[in-house]
Structure formats: structure tokens, C-alpha cells
């Protein structure tokens, strides 16, 4: 044993220099555990980075709908030859963006060259500013089973105001000059709706005017059978959960004027009609 130091204090052992010692080797189980933690952390970190980069991004909103109507009427014109037409729709909302696809039975429509069905594919963007809602969209109309080139596209915009139980919308849709429709087509419209408070009923009315330049009168008659014209609609609906029932009176002023001589004009299905609809959405 070594003697104590002269000053009477007790000596302590020198500290171990761990910096010069090699780290202990991890066994296989520890290495797998560390790798697993890294793999789990990576997606979470990526998600936090995406959330930070796009704080306004919302979770996808998927919707489906199906229905049947005694007539497929658009802008006062029958797209199903005055016959009943079934439809189905799927929509995907991504925040302020929305994608929709709707398929409708055209029932060998004279207006659309004997097409059996039409699929409307739309992409749009909308924003709300208090009680004002503004939307814009692009729609492609694709026809199946027709005898000629029938597909065309259009762009649209809408401004809507919500005032208590009432809704007022102003709309505009424009199909640029295309061979399938014999020129271009512009429709300006307005519609109003009001919910009957405390009941599942609602009332609505709409009116619009279609016009455009004509390159080919034969094809232009698809959307304007007698040139520029007015259309209107008034009706009511009942909604309970995912089920809706509606009854509308639809009319145009086309019968007051001579229709264009065209196999697409179908003037017999461009006048007044009562249309009933049954829908299911979820």
C-alpha cells in the first residue's frame, strides 16, 4: 500500500479517458430496431413538412350520386330524345379544387348524332368570401356511340350569394369555336332557390339566353336549334337524407320561331316539358 500524501488528503483515481475508447458494437437486434424507428419517422416527418408547406390543404372529399329523370334537359333542350335517362356521378374535392365525372344515358339522341351516352368530365376551382361563392371550371363532353365527331369542351364561371335560406347564382358558360358544334356558344343565366324553413322542401327558378357565331348551321343546331334563344325552368324539390325528388317545368321560346333545317335540331324536343327526377347521393 502506498502511504497517504503529505498534506493528509486522500488521493482519487485518475479519470477514465472514454473519448479514446471505441464505442460498443450494437448487436443485430439493436440495429434492426434503430432502422425500424428511422423508417417510421420518415413518413411522419414528410407529412409534417407537407402540412407546413400547404397549410390550407384539406383532406380529399369523395362523393357519389345516381339518379333517373323522365328527360335529360339542359338549357331547355332534351339530350335524351324526350326519353327517360339514368345518370351516375363521382366527384373528388381537394380543398378549393374539384374533379367530377358524370355519365348520362343519351338514348340514341337525335341532337347528338345517335349517341347512346354522354360523359361530362369537369375540373374546377372555387373560393368563398363571406356570403359570396365564386367558381370556375372546364368541362369536356364526350359522346359514346354517335355517328360523327361530337365531342366538345366549354369553360364556365359562377357567382353565388347566400342570403338566409335563399341562394342567388349568376352563371356564364362558353364553348369556343369547335367543328363539333358548328361555331361557338355562349349561355348567360341566373337562378334562384329558397329552402322552406323547417321542411324538406325547396323552390327554385332559372332562366338563360344562348347565342353564338355560326360556321356550320347544320352542326350549330345541336345547341341552338333556331339560333339564339331563351330558356327557363321553375320547380320544387324534396330532400330527406341522401334521397331527393324534384319536379320541374322547363320551356324555351324555340317553338315560336322556325328551327334550322338540320338532322341535329330535334325541334320536337326543344319546347315545354314537365320533368321529374329521383336522386340518391352519398
pLDDT of residue 59: 84
The C-alpha cell of 58 is what? 384539406
pLDDT exceeds cutoff 50 at 53: no
Place of cell 420518415: 42
pLDDT class of 82 with cuts at 50, 70, 90? very high
The C-alpha cell of 227 is what? 339560333
Give how far Cα 102 sits from Cα of 117, 142, 170, 220, Å: 10, 10, 22, 24
pLDDT of residue 58: 66
pLDDT exceeds cutoff 90 at 104: yes
In a domain, 144, yes or no: yes
C-alpha dihedral sign at 79, 77, 100, 153: positive
Contact partners, residue 69, CB within 8 Å, separation at least 6: 84, 85, 87, 275, 276, 277, 278
Give how far Cα 119 sits from Cα of 88, 154, 199, Å: 10, 14, 34
Task: State the DSSP H helix or E strand holding residue 31, giving kind and residue range, or none if neither.
Answer: helix 28-53
Tell me the per-residue pLDDT of 243-260, one tens digit each, with 9 for 90 and over: 999 999 999 999 767 888
pLDDT of residue 19: 41
The CATH number of whichever domain residue 194 belongs to comes to: 2.40.160.40
Residue 263 contacts residue 218 (beta carbons within 8 Å): yes
In a domain, 146, yes or no: yes
Pick from 3-12, 23-32, 211-220: least confident: 3-12
pLDDT class of 1 with cuts at 50, 70, 90? very low
pLDDT of residue 223: 98
pLDDT exceeds cutoff 70 at 4: no
**In sequence order, what E strands does the chain have?**
61-69, 73-74, 77-78, 85-94, 97-109, 115-129, 132-144, 152-163, 166-178, 183-195, 201-211, 229-240, 243-252, 273-281
Place of cell 369542351: 153
In a domain, 177, yes or no: yes
In a domain, 136, yes or no: yes
In a domain, 270, yes or no: yes
In a domain, 6, yes or no: no
Query: What residues make up the domain containing 206?
Result: 61-281
In whole angstroms, what is the distance from residue 33 CA to residue 76 CA?
67
In a domain, 129, yes or no: yes
Contact partners, residue 169, CB within 8 Å, separation at least 6: 158, 159, 160, 161, 190, 191, 192
Q: Which pTM was predicted?
A: 0.79
Residue 143 contacts residue 151 (beta carbons within 8 Å): yes
pLDDT of residue 30: 52
In a domain, 259, yes or no: yes
pLDDT of residue 211: 98
Tell me the per-residue pLDDT of 225-239, one tens digit each, with 9 for 90 and over: 999 999 999 999 999
pLDDT of residue 21: 45
The total domain count for the chain is 1
* pLDDT, averaged across the chain: 86
Mean pLDDT on 91-108: 97
pLDDT of residue 129: 93
Residue 107 contacts residue 85 (beta carbons within 8 Å): yes
Amino acid at each position: 500500500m502506498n502511504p497517504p500524501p503529505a498534506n493528509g488528503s486522500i488521493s482519487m483515481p485518475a479519470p477514465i479517458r472514454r473519448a479514446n475508447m471505441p464505442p460498443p458494437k450494437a448487436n443485430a437486434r439493436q440495429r434492426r430496431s434503430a432502422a425500424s424507428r428511422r423508417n417510421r419517422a420518415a413518413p411522419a416527418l414528410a407529412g409534417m413538412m407537407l402540412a407546413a408547406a400547404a397549410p390550407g390543404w384539406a383532406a380529399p372529399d369523395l362523393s357519389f350520386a345516381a339518379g333517373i329523370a323522365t328527360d335529360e334537359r339542359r338549357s331547355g333542350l332534351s339530350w335524351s330524345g324526350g326519353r327517360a335517362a339514368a345518370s351516375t356521378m363521382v366527384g373528388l374535392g381537394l380543398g378549393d379544387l374539384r374533379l367530377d365525372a358524370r355519365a348520362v344515358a343519351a338514348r340514341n339522341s337525335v341532337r347528338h348524332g345517335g349517341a347512346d351516352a354522354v360523359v361530362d368530365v369537369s375540373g374546377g376551382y372555387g373560393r368563398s368570401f363571406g356570403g359570396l361563392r365564386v367558381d370556375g371550371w372546364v368541362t369536356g363532353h364526350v359522346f359514346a356511340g354517335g355517328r360523327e365527331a361530337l365531342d366538345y369542351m366549354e369553360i364556365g364561371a359562377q357567382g353565388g350569394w347566400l342570403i338566409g335560406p335563399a341562394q342567388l347564382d349568376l352563371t356564364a358558360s362558353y364553348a369556343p369555336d369547335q367543328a363539333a358544334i358548328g361555331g361557338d356558344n355562349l349561355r348567360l343565366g341566373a337562378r334562384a332557390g329558397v329552402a322552406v324553413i323547417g321542411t324538406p322542401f325547396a323552390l327554385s327558378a332559372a332562366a338563360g339566353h344562348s347565342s353564338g357565331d355560326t360556321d356550320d348551321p347544320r352542326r350549330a343546331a345541336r345547341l341552338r336549334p333556331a339560333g339564339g334563344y331563351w330558356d327557363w325552368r321553375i320547380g320544387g324539390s324534396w330532400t330527406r337524407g341522401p334521397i331527393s325528388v324534384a319536379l320541374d317545368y322547363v320551356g324555351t321560346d324555340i317553338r315560336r320561331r322556325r328551327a334550322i333545317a338540320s338532322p341535329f335540331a330535334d325541334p320536337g324536343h326543344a319546347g315545354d316539358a314537365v320533368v321529374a327526377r329521383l336522386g340518391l347521393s352519398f
